[in-house]
Amino acid sequence: MSITQSNTDRSVAAEIKDSLGSLLRQWQGPLTDELLRTPGKFGLGQLPTTKQPDATTTMVCGYCSTGCGLNIHLKDDEAVNLTPTVDYPVNTGMACPKGWEALSVLDSPDRGTMPLLRDDHGRRVPVKWDIAMQAFCNRFKDIQAKHGNHSVAFLSTGQMPTEEMAYLGSLTKFGMGMLHGDGNTRQCMATAVVAYKQAFGFDAPPYTYQDFEESDVIVLVGSNLCIAHPIMWQRVCRNPHNPEIIVLDPRTTETAVAATQHLALNPKSDLELLYGIAHILISEGWIDEPFIRQHVNEFDEFAQHVEKYTPEYVERVSGISKESLHYAARTIHKGKRVSLWWTMGVNQSYQGVRTAQAIINLALITGNIGRPGTGANSITGQCNAMGSRLFSNTTNLLGGHDFKNPEHRQKVASTLHIDENLIPTEDSWAYDRIIEGILRDEIKGLWVICTNPAHSWINQNTYKEIVERLDFLVVQDMYHSTETAQRADLYLPAAGWGEKEGTFINSERRIGLLKKVAKAPGKALADFSIFRLAAHYWGCEDLFEKWQEPEDVFQSLKELSRHQPCDITGVENYQMLDQRGGIQWPYPEGCKESDTQRRLFADGRFFHPDGKAQLLFEDSRDMPEPPNERYPYLLMTGRGTASQWHTQTRTSKSAVLRGLYPQEIYVELNPQDARREGIRPNSVVQVDSQRGSVTAKAFVTPTISPGQLFIPMHYEATNQLTLAHFDPYSRQPSYKNCAVRISPSHHVATS
């Protein structure tokens, strides 16, 4: 081979190598630009070139009740990215997976872009807003003309801004003549609302998140905080006092694993166990007698009531040894700053109100309220459930007022400049009674806004059969694909979080600001704008002439809150909320309080006329559907992972979040039960109740006790099994207990 030929071969080889190299690693191009990082502005570190913002703004997250602050990165006035806000008092720079993905779920192919109206052939066809709103008003007015004004009802949500909730509640009840309307907060927070009202005189969670870091004893009842509210759990982890953490939960949850004491009680024996702790505290003299004398009613009657809840009796009922019970009571006694927290494990129960009040009672008799690190503290579910509780005009008149109180009706009428006769003089039916009203042909038209009851309502199959009886179903949602929207006669496309303005109120009573940082797709409108359209086409827009923008409604709500426990007349405007990092109510006019963390009852004054708190109690009830010979297992439901949320309407739109949780529905069962039933790990099983049947994948784990099963609530099929029974005081469904059986199946699991 000549030298010239050798050089030529080497040259060709080099060219081939360079060509292949350029294919594998291109120094320029769109994919390369996405990988390159350059110094970001606004203290954001290094960012891809395509994600470089030219401005940032702050707002609150729109998933759960934690109410985290987020920095939204803007480019040409559109959101391109986000990061947690470092100095926001709620999350102090942290975010859960859902928060990190909050923007990505807005961009989904099943977003609603046009109203859809079902034609004579049963097809949903796109129509203009004019046609949609004419159909909306004409059909509902026809129903009211035939069956009475109250034959049309609405079901609202804890996901919308407060101002939209207030507009909806005012439009329907003052403008459209409806009486009955409730929210999906009935499914998560009604029990806590009633418990607080009866005990304190007002729906008033007393705490601030700072209490997670200031307690030396933390009691968590029916709360898997690590999964359900991960940012709150991070606050617990930052507690410098090495706190005792007592978890009451039948399952060995992630939170229970981290506890210093896990009381793995039998399901729905929490009321007896809490009374048993009270029995020990009182009999041992481990109570705050001066506080009780000055600030609490009915103590002697309560002490007499819990006498029969001896450690021996509680051990038989709950399965918790009397030694463990006594140790837990002693731990509470020794604590200087004891906080007690609960969520859905308590609220979603056939005796939830009295169980929540049993927790409140422990705080009251030990004086653990009104001080840093203390409190009887209900953790809310949805991002604006607290706004719904105070201002949705569903089962309370605006601002926590009473529909049946003439003075309250006069105040609301005067504030809103409307005829007092337009305000109903009776309470709305609760959610379950509205559904029952459809079954009885009393409700013929239904307007569902920003919620998905075809997935989430208890005993799902019966719900779907009942809704088929409606003459007209209107569903207003971000996505046209939800189980409920698919059944609608009229679908109205709505903007979501980040595409509109307003305020949310989080679990610790903090009012946070929501901003418009993205455009809604197609012809979708903010719920606020849809409600204004409805008022116009209905012919009652003059009633709401002052409400041209969401902040106009906020100013009215301020005035409606005047002299109420939730008084916010001192909040000047949205800008003040933004600058202050949110403001906790109460914040009355003239308030100079600048602390970012504030709790209630520091002065020992409660909201009953005598200023005292009330101890409430009664005997525990039998489980409505205990396991039996045919259905030998007890089914519990609850949250699955930190990346799932409720019906997965939004979380399922994120590829990142979908990768963080199982796509197929699964059921947890104990190894002992798996052996008995011949079930192998990851095999396909069938779970049956008296109401339905579900095919799922078996997850065999010792974290659940023998005789119990667990299925996450997020899967559409779960509520085919659940039993429709309710707390008698709050009317909240008891999702977490019904009798089922489990067996191997040859079917393929479905998600």
**Residue 32 banded pLDDT, cuts 50, 70, 90:** low
What is the C-alpha to C-alpha distance for residues 437 and 414, in angstroms, rounded to an integer?
Answer: 33
What are the tens digits of pLDDT across the range 324-373?
999 999 999 999 999 999 999 999 999 999 999 999 999 999 999 999 99
Residue length of the chain? 751
Average model confidence (pLDDT) across the chain = 93
Per-residue pLDDT at 618 exceeds 90: yes
Token readout for 365 is 């008799």
**Residue 381 banded pLDDT, cuts 50, 70, 90:** confident
3-state DSSP assignment of residue 101:
coil
Global pTM reads: 0.93
Q: Residue 699's pLDDT is what?
A: 96
Q: What percent of the chain has pLDDT over 70?
A: 95
| Mean local confidence (pLDDT), 621-637 | 95
Per-residue pLDDT at 310 exceeds 60: yes
Per-residue pLDDT at 750 exceeds 50: no
Residue spans per domain, the chain: 116-180+401-496+516-559, 206-379, 633-744
Query: Quick one: fold of 633-744?
Result: Barwin-like endoglucanases (2.40.40)
What are the tens digits of pLDDT across the range 416-453?
999 999 999 999 999 999 999 999 999 999 999 999 99
Q: Residue 38's pLDDT is what?
A: 79
Amino acid at residue number 671: P
Q: Residue 25's pLDDT is what?
A: 62
What is the C-alpha to C-alpha distance for residues 46 and 58, in angstroms, rounded to an integer?
Answer: 19
Q: Residue 22's pLDDT is what?
A: 62
Q: Rounded to 5 degrees, what angle do the CA atoms 573, 597, 192 make?
A: 90
Q: Architecture of 116-180+401-496+516-559 per CATH?
A: 3-Layer(aba) Sandwich (3.40)
Higher-pLDDT residue of 315 and 33 is 315
What are the tens digits of pLDDT across the range 8-22?
666 766 676 666 666
Q: Where are the alpha helices (DSSP H) in 335-485?
A: 344-347, 352-365, 385-391, 406-416, 431-439, 453-456, 460-467
Q: What is the DSSP pairing of strand 510-514 with strand 502-505?
A: antiparallel
Q: Report the range of poorest mean pLDDT among 140-149, 395-404, 655-664.
A: 655-664
Of 194, 360, 355, whose CA–CA distance to 268 is shortest?
Answer: 355
Of 321, 360, 368, 369, whose CA–CA distance to 342 is shortest?
Answer: 360
Residue 544 near residue 150 (C-beta atoms within 8 A): no
What is the C-alpha to C-alpha distance for residues 517 and 82, in angstroms, rounded to an integer?
Answer: 11
**Pairs from 230-238 (Cβ < 8 Å, separation ≥ 24):** 230/96, 230/642, 231/66, 231/68, 231/90, 231/91, 231/94, 231/95, 231/96, 232/66, 232/379, 234/94, 235/209, 235/210, 236/212, 238/212, 238/213
DSSP annotation string for 243-260: -EEEEE-SS--HHHHH-S
Of 388, 466, 423, 341, whose CA–CA distance to 155 is shortest?
Answer: 388
Per-residue pLDDT at 36 exceeds 80: no
Q: What percent of the chain has pLDDT over 90?
A: 83
Residue 346 near residue 181 (C-beta atoms within 8 A): no
Rounded to a whole number of angstroms, the distance between the first and last alpha carbons of the chain is: 67
Per-residue pLDDT at 662 exceeds 70: yes
Per-residue pLDDT at 375 exceeds 80: yes
What is the C-alpha to C-alpha distance for residues 276 and 255, in angstroms, rounded to an integer?
Answer: 23
| Mean local confidence (pLDDT), 30-34 | 65
Beta strands in 97-216, from DSSP E residues, in sequence order: 116-118, 124-126, 152-156, 181-183
3-state DSSP assignment of residue 582:
coil
Per-residue pLDDT at 661 exceeds 70: yes
What is the C-alpha to C-alpha distance for residues 365 and 278, in angstroms, rounded to an integer?
Answer: 8
3-state secondary structure 350-364: CCHHHHHHHHHHHHH
Q: Residue 395's pLDDT is what?
A: 86
Per-residue pLDDT at 751 exceeds 50: no
| φ, ψ at 708 (rounded to 5°) | -125, 150
DSSP designation for 430:
P
Residue 177: how many other CB atoms lie within 10 Å: 18
| Mean local confidence (pLDDT), 404-410 | 97
Helix axis angle for 460-467 and 431-439, nearest 10°, is 50
What are the tens digits of pLDDT across the range 539-552?
999 999 999 999 99
What is the C-alpha to C-alpha distance for residues 284 and 332, in angstroms, rounded to an integer?
Answer: 12
Per-residue pLDDT at 583 exceeds 50: yes
Higher-pLDDT residue of 586 and 748 is 586
Of 207, 246, 221, 240, whose CA–CA distance to 330 is shortest?
Answer: 246
DSSP designation for 302:
H
Residue 709 near residue 743 (C-beta atoms within 8 A): no
Of 289, 310, 309, 311, whose CA–CA distance to 300 is shortest?
Answer: 289
Query: Quick one: fold of 206-379?
Result: Dimethylsulfoxide Reductase; domain 2 (3.40.228)
Of 136, 251, 214, 89, whose CA–CA distance to 640 is shortest?
Answer: 251
CB-based burial, 365-378: b 16+ in 10 Å, e otherwise: bbbbbbbbbbbbbb
3-state secondary structure 533-580: HHHHHHCCHHHHCCCCCHHHHHHHHHHHCCCCCCCCCCCCCHHHHHHH
Q: Residue 3's pLDDT is what?
A: 53
